[in-house]
């Protein structure tokens, strides 16, 4: 097993990050995991993939131009620190940094706002390889991650 790595130096505007080995099974489930410790909090990095139904990509993008404030609050309250969704033709990819993915899924699946959002999205999307236990889209395996930006020479800058 590879040892965790950390940045050799930290400037005043850098966030210390400890990168843990990626591509290993999460201890709570068989899903692949990537984790990072940022600002003292363990975060899971999660990628998911699903599909937009034929001819529905523009409508999907339009509905995501501004999500409901109560859905935003639900995601943040469930430990999501960042969440981005990308569209490539009819393929949808999402990436999130979340404190505890399993806790997020449980909170989301049990919330009436989330259930209403999913009903509204149902006509636009399909989850071909959904997790049978949760109904969530397929979780991708991390194969590599660049977590801390470093100067091109790999060293620390003299200026602070």
Tell me, what's the pLDDT at 1?
A: 42
> Is the pTM for the entire model greater than 0.75?
no
Regarding predicted confidence, which is higher, 78 or 150?
A: 78
**Mean pLDDT of all residues in 124-145:** 94
Q: Could you tell me what percent of the chain has a pLDDT over 70?
A: 66
Half-sphere exposure of 41 (CA within 13 A, CB side): 11
- Helices within 40-111 (DSSP H only): 57-64, 69-77, 101-109
List C-alpha distances in Å: 143 to 17, 33, 47, 72. Answer: 18, 10, 11, 29
Tell me, what's the pLDDT at 143?
A: 93
Catalytic residues: 64
21 CB neighbour count, 10 Å cutoff: 14
- Assess whether pLDDT exceeds 80 at residue 98: yes
In the chain, what are the domains? 47-139 (3.30.70.100)
């Amino acid at each position: 097993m590879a040892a965790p790595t950390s940045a050799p130096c930290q400037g005043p505007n850098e966030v210390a990050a400890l990168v843990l080995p990626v591509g290993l099974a999460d201890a709570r489930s068989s899903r692949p995991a990537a984790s990072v410790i940022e600002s003292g909090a363990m975060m899971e990095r999660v990628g998911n993939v699903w599909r937009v139904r034929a001819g529905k990509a523009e409508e999907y993008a339009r509905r995501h131009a501004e999500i409901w404030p109560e859905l935003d609050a639900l995601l943040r309250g469930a430990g999501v620190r960042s969440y981005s969704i990308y569209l490539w033709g009819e393929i949808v990819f999402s990436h999130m940094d979340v404190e505890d993915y399993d806790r997020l899924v449980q909170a989301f699946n049990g919330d009436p706002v989330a259930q209403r959002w999913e009903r509204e999205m149902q006509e636009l999307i399909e989850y071909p390889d959904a997790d049978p236990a949760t109904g969530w889209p397929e979780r991708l395996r991390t194969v590599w991650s660049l977590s801390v930006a470093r100067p091109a020479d790999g060293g620390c800058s003299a200026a602070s």
